[in-house]
C-alpha cells in the first residue's frame, strides 16, 4: 500500500510514524504558546474623543499564519484538535464527503513537508530528515549540505541565527 497524507499515520512504520508524531507535538506546543494578541492604545493624532488604534502584542506562529491564509477556512480549535490527534497517533483517514478529518490531512501534509524539505521556525532550522526521505524514496540530503545550510544561517560576528 502506498501512503499519502489522506491516510492515518498508523499505516507507516513505527520509526517514520514517530518522526511525524514528534513534529506534530512540537507544532501543537508552538501554537498553544503563541496566539495573536491585539490591544488598543490612544491614537497619536485623535480625530474624535476616545479615538484608539489597534496594535499587535504577539503574533501567531509563522507556519500557522501561512496555513491560515492558504487554506481557508481554518479554525484554531480544529487545528489544535488535529495536531493533538496526530501527536497521540489517533488521527483518522480523510473520507470524501465527511470533512471531519480534513485538518488531519492538512497537518499531516504540513508535517510531511517540514520533515522532507526542512523548515525555519524563528531561530530554529529543522533539517530535512533523511530517514523519512528514504522511506518515501526521496534522495537523501547530503550531510555536508545540511551543515552548510546551518552554518550559512549563523552570523558569527554578532552570534545571531538568521
The C-alpha atoms of residue 24 and residue 19 are separated, in whole angstroms, by: 9
pLDDT tops 60 at residue 112: yes
> How many whole angstroms from its chain centre is CA 25?
10
In whole angstroms, how far apart are CA 54 and each of 37, 41, 51?
A: 10, 7, 10
pLDDT, one tens digit per residue, over 27-43 is 999 999 999 999 999 99
Decide which of 34 and 146 is more confident: 34
> Is residue 143's pLDDT more than 80?
no
- Report the pLDDT averaged over residues 136-141: 90
Cα–Cα distance measured from residue 120 to residue 46, given in angstroms and rounded to the nearest whole number = 40
Mean pLDDT of 154-162: 48
- What are the extents of the domains in the chain? 9-37+51-154
119 — pLDDT class (breaks 50, 70, 90): confident
The pLDDT assigned to 96 comes to: 78
pLDDT of residue 162: 42
DSSP secondary structure letter of residue 40: E
Kind of pairing, strands 52-58 and 37-42? Answer: antiparallel
Q: What is the pTM of this model?
A: 0.81
Amino acid at each position: 500500500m502506498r501512503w499519502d497524507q489522506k491516510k492515518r499515520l498508523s499505516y507507516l512504520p513505527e520509526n517514520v510514524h514517530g518522526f511525524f508524531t514528534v513534529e506534530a507535538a512540537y507544532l501543537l506546543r508552538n501554537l498553544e504558546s503563541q496566539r495573536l494578541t491585539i490591544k488598543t492604545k490612544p491614537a497619536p493624532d485623535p480625530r474624535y474623543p476616545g479615538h484608539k488604534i489597534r496594535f499587535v502584542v504577539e503574533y501567531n506562529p509563522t507556519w500557522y499564519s501561512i496555513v491560515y491564509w492558504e487554506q481557508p477556512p481554518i479554525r484554531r480549535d480544529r487545528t489544535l484538535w488535529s495536531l493533538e490527534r496526530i501527536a497521540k497517533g489517533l488521527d483518522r483517514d480523510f473520507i470524501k464527503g465527511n470533512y471531519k478529518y480534513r485538518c488531519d490531512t492538512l497537518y499531516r501534509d504540513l508535517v510531511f513537508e517540514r520533515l522532507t524539505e526542512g523548515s525555519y521556525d524563528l531561530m530554529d532550522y529543522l533539517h530535512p530528515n533523511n530517514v523519512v526521505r528514504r522511506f518515501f524514496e526521496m534522495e537523501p540530503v547530503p550531510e555536508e549540505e545540511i551543515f552548510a545550510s546551518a552554518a550559512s544561517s549563523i552570523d558569527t560576528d554578532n552570534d545571531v541565527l538568521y
